[in-house]
Amino acid sequence: MKFVKWIIGLLVGIIGGVALFAGNKSKEKVKEIKKDIKVSKKKTKKIKKEISAIEQTQKNYKKTLVEMEKKKETYKAPDVNGDEADKYIKDFLKKRKKNK
């Protein structure tokens, strides 16, 4: 009976040693998965920051559009008589001829 117990103990010891070596591979896989999770979390944070920045710029564009529309509504062209307009056109044509 002692011999059978000794053999069973020896088998259990061998199996335990094999289990230790086989367990290392699974630990490495778990570490790789955890590393991948950290990398993906960093990427999502970066993307969220980019999205919030884009949304902020869109809000700023909308504000400037509203301001431009208000300026357009309140803009009043200066009063110009015919002589001033004629002089402007003549000067413009002279400059145009010089540039050609």
Q: What is the dihedral of CA 15, 16, 21, 22, to 10 degrees?
A: 70
Q: In one letter, which amino acid is 91?
A: D
Task: Give pLDDT, residue 46.
Answer: 95
39-77 pLDDT, tens digit per residue, is 999 999 999 999 999 999 999 999 999 999 998 888 777
Please tell me the distance from the alpha carbon of residue 46 to that of residue 2, in angstroms, as a whole number. 65
Phi, psi angles (nearest 5°) of residue 78: -70, 150
Cα distances from 68 to residues 58, 72, 73, 83, 84, in angstroms, run: 15, 6, 9, 31, 28
Confidence at 37, pLDDT banded by 50, 70, 90: very high
